[in-house]
């Protein structure tokens, strides 16, 4: 179960896309976070549910988007990543999936 990955076409400039993404993430409660060697957006401490992550790379006319949730072995103990599709942990994934869909609409619109 890997990350959700999508490349979204847009008519917006790179600066406009970066501002749109920054505003959306801030409004949704995401904070920038260093995840290994990657700069990502993270929401949640993961005490009861896995923390949510999104990674974006905006270029003029296109945004590369990745989204995932950390997989819990025990409450607060995370062992891997899972994407936003599939039946396993569907209730937890649904929250992030809705956010991803909303962001994709804003980027494409």
Write out pLDDT tens, residues 14-46: 999 999 999 999 999 999 999 999 999 999 876
**Count of helix runs (H) and strand runs (E) in the chain:** 2, 6
CA distance 35 to 21: 18
> Could you tell me the maximum CA-CA distance found in the chain, to the nearest angstrom?
43
pLDDT digits (tens, 9 = 90+) for 59-105: 989 999 999 998 776 766 777 888 888 777 677 789 999 999 999 99
* pTM score of the predicted model: 0.88
Instruction: Give me the CATH topology for the region 4-108.
Output: TATA-Binding Protein (3.30.310)
Position with higher pLDDT, 91 vs 12: 12
> What's the CA angle centered on 69, arms 32 and 93, to 5 degrees?
120
Q: Give the Cβ contact number of residue 2 at 10 Å.
A: 10
Determine the pLDDT at residue 45.
76
């Amino acid at each position: 179960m890997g990350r959700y990955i999508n490349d979204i076409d847009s008519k917006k400039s790179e600066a406009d896309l970066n501002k749109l993404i920054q505003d959306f993430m801030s409004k949704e409660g995401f904070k920038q976070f260093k995840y290994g060697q990657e700069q990502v957006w993270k929401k949640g401490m993961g005490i009861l549910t896995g923390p949510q992550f999104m990674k974006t790379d905006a270029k003029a006319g296109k945004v590369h988007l990745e989204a995932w949730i950390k997989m819990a072995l025990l409450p607060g103990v995370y062992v891997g990543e899972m994407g936003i599709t599939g039946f396993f942990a569907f209730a937890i994934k649904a929250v992030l999936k809705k956010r991803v869909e909303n962001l994709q609409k804003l980027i494409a619109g």
